[in-house]
Chains A and B, each alone.
Chain A
């Protein structure tokens, strides 16, 4: 499993653009908002938590179809499915590598982008924390969506339609945690809920993903 994660990280760094793409996309989404709603800081600050979370979510979505599609295309998915590696472990490793190349960097650069949206200073730490504990769910749910659409041509759009609704709970509580912090309230409850969603997804979804993948490889 660790080898698979290492290989995927190596591939992400070398594949030219795969790694930075999500970050660039996140930046552009966040930059577009002030152009759309106007640059007044009292208008931007209240929507900043939601915009940052939606941006992170969309950036995460962008690279999802690479998770399994490329491996399916070059045959390594078939070969790995016949290897001693359990399929559940394989999808978990894939999700883990996806998080390390998207969720983690997104969480770390989010405070930088929050400046553009005039997010109140009190919310920066919670923004990073909420993304750190929330994005694992996005990667794991995304891997599930990728497994559902793995054999399909142009499955990317279908996958977005399947995956985005499943992202809603993480989005609600993640953005709520940041908003509460911005308004000097305690963000503990929504933060715990976001973490709970992530933990439950990581614990349960790999089994469903492996089952779906097994059916799709037939």
Chain B
């Protein structure tokens, strides 16, 4: 993957004419967009349009059919539908593990950002869906990576936690980070929107090709 140039404000992420497929089904064609540092882009579109597929392609889990994704190496952190939480490990152990994987020394900031202090020693299996989601999102903070790819981050969050999430994203943007968020709710981030509907591939459809097995 080529690195970004040294222009005054190079985009953190540049996508050119990208075609992405889930398995062997081409879902989206000809997507192009830029995301600058400090900017957030919200992906919109009906269920099954390919938001998750686009994010997985950007994260490198799925090779693009054609087109280019230009970003610095190891600059993206992916947050999926599933949070990757081990039920028998405590919140602290879960976060410390991911911090270790990304060679980040401290988890305090991530814990504070999502108000996880009272839950630190609790086994993750005993937490509610919303609490698990907060732990899953806190994982993004211990990656130390500038570009966040977030797949429906607000699922099962209550109003308060959603406000925490917005604060965390704003703080991340203020530090020069950027984010790509697929969401159906307005987070109030004054973000640019990208509707994926015009990019639906000719042979793909929305709900008909969705086998319910992507999460």
Contact = CB atoms under 8 A, between A and B. Distances in A.
Nearest to B139: A79
B101 A74 contact: no
Looking at chain A's contact residues, the main secondary structure is helix
B46 interface: no
A75 B97 contact: no
Interface in A120-150: none
Nearest to A78: B80
B84 A74 contact: yes
A82 B97 contact: no
B148 to A, nearest CB: 12
Interface stretch (B8-16, B56-64, B180-188, B191-199): B56-64
Contacts of B69: none
Interface string A3-22: 11001001100110000000
A82 B76 contact: yes
B102 A82 contact: no
B86 interface: yes
A80 interface: yes
A15 B125 CA distance: 11
A16 B60 CA distance: 35
A158 interface: no
B83 A3 contact: no
Contact of B101 (A14, A75, A80): A80
B85 interface: yes
Interface string B135-163: 00001000100000000000000000000
B88 interface: yes
Contacts, number: 73
Contact of B97 (A3, A74, A78, A84): A3
B84 A79 contact: yes
Majority secondary structure of chain B interface residues (helix, strand, loop or mixed): loop
B135 to A, nearest CB: 12
B34 interface: no
B77 interface: yes
Contacts of A11: 86, 88-89
Contacts of A84: 74, 101-103
A84 B100 CA distance: 11
A81 B61 contact: yes
B5 interface: no
Contacts of A4: 97, 101
A7 B87 CA distance: 12
A79 B93 contact: no
Nearest to A75: B82
B62 A74 contact: no
Interface of A: 3-4, 7, 10-11, 14-15, 71, 73-85, 217-218
Given A71-B84, A79-B80, A84-B103, 5 more contacts: A7-B97, A10-B88, A11-B86, A11-B89, A84-B102
